[in-house]
């Protein structure tokens, strides 16, 4: 009896072994890889503002059938830059789905990155994007009439959009408009673009692309857009040559104003003019924008005048400068060296590199023949 039991057990063991061997021949076992330790990378903006990329990946669903990784991303809200509070950090664990952009300048970042499906709405603002064409500009909801900025919208309108991300100039988030406390109370992360700083350069436009790329999970596309801008600027620099940059023409930027001119000094517009082979006649003013006097413009007698086009108003502004008692006798006016550039792109946006090229071709047409 014992021999029968032993024999039965041996047969059973052999059968199990054969089954195991048979199954192992048809499949391959894969060992799970060890989870890497979280890493962080800190990026510093032009005024010392910092934001941190956290390299700890989690999975979020992007549609019913596909999944992709989303990397939690932390930004610093630059409240100290405008004196509206202390800097604070906010971490994204998923891409915003109801973003609002104030003005074409901000909206073009989203359109350029194909993020219209992540938007609840936008405004065109006072400075329209007069060069770039995006189909999304006609499909995404406009929250105010053309020419009207978001600050004129009611808080009830904003809340009704389920907004979770808002991008605009610092003034948009002042106590008189949509304060940071209002935004955070209603689940809205306010974003203050790096390119809006008084000391910003073109590099800060790249930083804004990098931030948006990480926040919305389109890092590769954002990197491609940045490289395309760098390539365009490199081509402009090669065309102009070192002598132009060593001896730039002087430029008076006419934004607006009749009693006194509102003009660009430093910041992104000042840097863009330098990249195009010029320099603002008010480059000595430590601000992005200022309102000097007409007498100062006459005294500095610019080589050229650059009109910032708000909404296809270049012709009207040109006529004003030709007939204004202060500017009609300027050398640039008499010689017909009055040019124009898109105001929206001159503040830092998707079309800024193209605008540098446009300016360079106006300033130095002989270099591009």
Which of 178, 199, 226 is where one domain is finished?
226
Q: Is there a domain that residue 1 lies in?
A: no
Complete DSSP assignment for 266-279: SHHHHHHHHHTTEE
If asked whether residues 161 and 110 sit together in one domain, one would say yes
What is the rounded CA–CA span in Å between residue 194 and residue 232?
Answer: 21
Task: Supply the range of the domain harboring residue 247.
Answer: 240-368
Check whether residue 122 and residue 218 sit in a common domain: yes
Residues 214, 246: one domain? no
Q: Are residues 165 and 108 in the same domain?
A: yes
Please indicate, yes or no, whether residues 165 and 198 belong to a single structural domain of this protein.
Answer: yes
- Domain harbouring 155, CATH code: 3.40.50.1980
Q: What are phi and psi of 295, to 5 degrees?
A: -60, -35
What pLDDT is recorded for position 84?
80
Query: Would residue 47 count as lying in a domain?
Result: no
Residues 248 and 348 in one domain: yes
The long-range contacts involving 327-332, CB below 8 angstroms and separated by at least 24 positions, are 327/294, 327/297, 327/298, 329/298, 330/252, 330/297, 330/298, 330/301, 330/302, 330/305, 331/301, 331/302, 331/303, 332/252, 332/302, 332/303, 332/304, 332/305
Q: Do 158 and 279 reside in the same domain of the chain?
A: no
Same domain, 344 and 245: yes
Residue that terminates a domain, selected from 200, 226, 252 = 226
Q: What angle do CA 353, 206, 86 make, to 5 degrees?
A: 130
Read off the pTM. Answer: 0.81
pLDDT score for 79:
86
Number of domains the chain contains? 2
Same domain, 165 and 284: no
Same domain (yes/no): 80, 213 = yes
In this structure, the answer to whether residues 283 and 310 fall within a common structural domain is: yes
Is 3 a member of any domain?
A: no
**pLDDT tens-digit map of 82-94:** 788 889 999 999 9
Statement to judge: residues 293 and 191 lie in one domain: no
Pairing state of beta strands 304-309 and 67-70? unpaired
A 10 A CB-CB count for 77 gives 23
Where among 164, 196, 226 does a domain terminate? 226
Residues 6+ apart with CB under 8 A from 156: none
Element (H, E) at 232: helix 219-240
Q: pLDDT tens, 48-78?
A: 334 343 333 333 333 433 346 899 999 998 8
Residue 117: inside a domain:
yes
Mean pLDDT by 10 residues, the chain (369 residues): 38 40 39 44 38 36 50 91 86 97 98 98 96 95 96 96 97 92 95 94 98 97 98 98 98 97 98 98 96 97 98 97 96 97 98 98 96
What does the alpha-carbon distance between residue 58 and residue 183 come to, in Å, rounded to a whole number?
Answer: 26
pLDDT at 322: 97
| Conformational region of residue 29, where left means phi above 0, alpha means psi within -120 to 50, and beta covers everything else | beta
Provide the pLDDT for residue 241: 98
Using an 8 Å Cβ cutoff, are 354 and 276 in contact?
no
> Is position 128 within any domain?
yes
Residue 342 lies in a domain: yes
- Domain assignment of residue 245, yes or no: yes
Domain membership of residue 233 (yes or no) is no
What integer pLDDT is reported at residue 81 of this predicted model? 86
């Amino acid at each position: 009896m014992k021999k029968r039991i032993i024999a039965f057990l041996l047969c059973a063991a052999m059968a199990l072994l054969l089954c195991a061997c048979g199954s192992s021949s048809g499949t391959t076992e894969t060992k799970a890889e060890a989870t890497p330790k979280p890493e962080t990378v800190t990026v510093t903006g032009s005024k010392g503002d910092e934001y941190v990329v956290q390299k700890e990946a989690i999975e979020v669903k992007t549609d019913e059938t596909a999944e992709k990784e989303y990397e939690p991303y932390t930004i610093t809200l630059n409240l100290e830059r405008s004196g509206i509070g202390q800097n604070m950090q906010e971490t994204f664990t998923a891409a915003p789905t109801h973003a609002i952009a104030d003005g074409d300048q901000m909206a073009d970042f989203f359109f350029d990155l194909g993020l219209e499906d992540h938007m609840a709405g936008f405004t065109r603002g006072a400075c329209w994007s007069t060069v770039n064409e995006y189909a999304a500009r006609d499909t995404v909801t406009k929250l105010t009439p053309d020419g009207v900025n978001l600050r004129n919208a009611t808080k009830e309108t904003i809340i009704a959009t389920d907004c979770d991300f808002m991008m605009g100039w610092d003034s948009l988030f002042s106590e008189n408009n949509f304060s940071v406390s209002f935004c955070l109370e209603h689940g809205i992360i306010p974003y203050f673009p790096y390119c809006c700083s008084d000391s910003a350069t073109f590099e800060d436009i790249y930083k804004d692309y990098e931030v948006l790329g990480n926040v919305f999970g389109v890092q590769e596309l954002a990197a491609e857009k940045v490289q395309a801008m760098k390539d365009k600027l490199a081509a402009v620099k090669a065309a102009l040559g070192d002598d132009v940059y060593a001896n730039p023409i002087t430029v008076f930027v006419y934004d607006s104003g009749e009693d006194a001119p509102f003009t660009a000094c430093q910041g992104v517009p000042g840097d863009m003019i330098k990249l195009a082979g010029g320099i603002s006649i008010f480059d000595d003013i430590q601000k992005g924008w200022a309102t000097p006097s007409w007498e100062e413009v006459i005294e500095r007698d610019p080589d050229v005048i650059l009109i910032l086009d708000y909404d296809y108003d270049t012709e009207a502004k040109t006529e004003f400068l030709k007939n204004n008692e202060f500017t009609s006798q300027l050398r640039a006016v008499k010689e017909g060296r009055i040019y124009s550039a898109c105001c929206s792109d001159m503040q830092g946006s998707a079309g800024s590199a193209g605008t540098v090229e446009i300016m360079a071709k106006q300033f130095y047409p002989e270099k591009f023949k």
